Structure 1
C-alpha cells in the first residue's frame, strides 16, 4: 500500500489520493500529528528491518505492506495537555525521534524524502546551488548590518526587495497577516531592527509574469501566473494561469539542482523578464500545486500517482 503523510484538509494530497483510488491502489492517509493521541504503534526489529503495525481509528496498517510514502505537509506531533510543559517538550521530541525515525527507516520509496526536504529548505543553499546549476539568480545579500543593506540597495538604484527565509504569519488585531516580498525604501533601512536577525535582500526582477515549475521525477509542469498585484500570493482569485513550455536551459538547470539535493519532487518559482529570461527565485521541496492543476488541468496528480504506484508493483 501507499502511505500519505499530510494534514487532513490538504487539497494537494487529496488529488493524489483520489487518483490512486481510481486505479485501485491501496492507500492510507495519516497525519504525523495524530501520534500518539490517535495512532498507536507496536514495532519489533526482526532480521534486517522493522515489522509491526500502526493502528489508526478502525484501521490497521502492517508496516511491511507499505511500499511507498507520499510526504506532503504533515503536522507536528500532539501530546496530551495533561503533561507539564517540560514533559510535553520531551514527549514531542521522543515521538518525533521514535515514530518518525521508525517511518524514515522503512525500506520504501519516498516522494520526497523528509531528510532531502530538510536540506533543500535552506534558501541560501538553494540560491547558491541554482547559480552553480546554470540558472539565472538575481544579485542577493544576506546581512544583519543596516549599512551593508543600504549600500546594496544604493548599488542597485533601490531596485531591491526584502524577503523572509520562510513564510511568516504575524497575528495582529486577532487576524493573521502574511509576509510578502517587500520593496526596500530608505525609511525601511533606517530601522535598526535589521540588526536583530538575518535578512535577505535581492535585486528586483522587472518581470512580465511568474512561473511555478513543478518537477515530478523526470517530468516538468510549468504554469505561467499573471497577477494584477505583481505578487501572485496576494490575489489567488484574481490571477490568471496558463501552461507553458520550459526553456531547455532552465530544464537542464533544474535537473542539476534537484540532483544536488537528491530530490525527486520540487516546485520552483521563477520571474520571467521582458526578454523572456527565467530568473530563479525559490525552491519549495514540498510545494503546493493543487490550485494550478484545477486552473489549467495540468496532469500533475497523475504524474505523482504514476511515480508512487510504480513502486507498488
Structure 2
C-alpha cells in the first residue's frame, strides 16, 4: 500500500493519486488533521517494529502493509473544542509526537521525509549547500544591523533585494497580503526595524526569466517562467511557461546538493541572466509543481509515481 498524506482538496496530490490508480497500485489518502477526530489508531510494538491498524471511517489500513508514503502538505491535527485552550495545546502536541512519531518510525520509503523537509527549509543551509555544490549563488547577507545592510546595498549600487526566510502573509483591514521579493531603497534602511530580527539581503540578478526546476530523484524537469510582473508569484495567469533543458553544470550541482540534503524531491528556483547563467535562489523540499504540469504537460506526476512504485516493489520484496 502507498499512503498519501495530504489535505483532501490538494490538486497536486490528486495528480499523483490518479497516476497510481491508473497503474492499479493500492493507495490511500489521509490528512494528518483527521487524527484524532476522524481516525483511530491501535498499534503495538514487537520485535519487528510497530504493528497495528488505522481506521479511517470505513477504511482500515494495516501498518505493516504500508510500503511508501507520499508526503505532500497535510494539515494540523484538529483537536476537539470541548477541551480548554491549554488542554488543546497539550493534546495537539501529544497527537503530533504520538501519531506522527509512529508513522515516521515505520520502515517505509518517504517522499520526502518530514525530517529532511524540516532540515532543508532553513534557507541559510540551502544557500551554503548550493555554493558547496558548485551552483552560482547571488551575494547574500544575513543581518540585524542596519549599518551592515546599508553597506551591503551601497557596495552593490543599491541593486539589492530583501527576502523573508519563509512565506509570510500579513493581514490588514481584513485582507491578506503576501510578502514578495522587495527592492531595497535607502528609505527602507532608515527604519530601525532591521534590528528586530534576522533579515536576508541579496544581490539582485538582472534576469531574462525565471526557472522552476523540479527534481524527482535523478530526474529533472525545468520550466521557464516569463513574467511581465517581474516576480512570477504576483500574477500566475499572466505568466508564460516553456519547458527547457537543464545545463550540465546545474544538473551536476543539483544532484550534489540533493545528496547533501538527503532529499529525493525538491522544487528549486533559479534566475537566468541575459548571458544564460543560472543563479540559484532557493529550494522548497516540498514545493508546488502541479500548475506547471497542467500548463506544459511536463510529466512530473508520472515521475513521482515511478519512484514510489519502484521503492514500493523494493520494500515488498524485502518484506517477503
The alignment's TM-score, normalised by the length of structure 2, stands at 0.97
Partner SS, residue 187 of structure 2: helix
Contact 2:222/2:246 (8 A) holds in 1: yes
The separation in 1 between residues aligned to 2:311 and 2:227, in whole angstroms, is: 39
Runs of at least 4 residues of structure 1 off by over 3 A? none
- Residue 191 of structure 1 corresponds to 191
Q: CA deviation at 1:166?
A: 0.3
The separation in 1 between residues aligned to 2:251 and 2:114, in whole angstroms, is: 24
Q: CA deviation at 1:311?
A: 2.5
- Residue 65 of structure 2 corresponds to 65
The separation in 2 between residues aligned to 1:63 and 1:22, in whole angstroms, is: 24
Q: CA deviation at 1:86?
A: 1.2
The separation in 2 between residues aligned to 1:151 and 1:303, in whole angstroms, is: 46
- Residue 6 of structure 2 corresponds to 6
Question: RMSD across aligned C-alpha pairs, in angstroms?
Answer: 0.7
Tell me how many residue pairs correspond in the alignment: 313
Partner SS, residue 25 of structure 2: coil
The separation in 2 between residues aligned to 1:11 and 1:226, in whole angstroms, is: 23
The separation in 1 between residues aligned to 2:286 and 2:103, in whole angstroms, is: 18
- Residue 285 of structure 1 corresponds to 285
- Residue 92 of structure 1 corresponds to 92
Partner SS, residue 154 of structure 2: helix
Deviations 1:228-279 (A, max 9, x none): 0000000100001000000000000000000011000001000000000000
The separation in 1 between residues aligned to 2:184 and 2:33, in whole angstroms, is: 39
Partner SS, residue 80 of structure 2: coil
Q: CA deviation at 1:48?
A: 2.1
- Residue 204 of structure 1 corresponds to 204
Contact 2:109/2:312 (8 A) holds in 1: no
The separation in 1 between residues aligned to 2:3 and 2:146, in whole angstroms, is: 47
Partner SS, residue 99 of structure 1: helix
Partner SS, residue 228 of structure 2: coil
Structure 2: 5+ residue stretches without partners: 314-320
The separation in 2 between residues aligned to 1:127 and 1:173, in whole angstroms, is: 36
- Residue 153 of structure 1 corresponds to 153
The alignment's TM-score, normalised by the length of structure 1, stands at 0.99
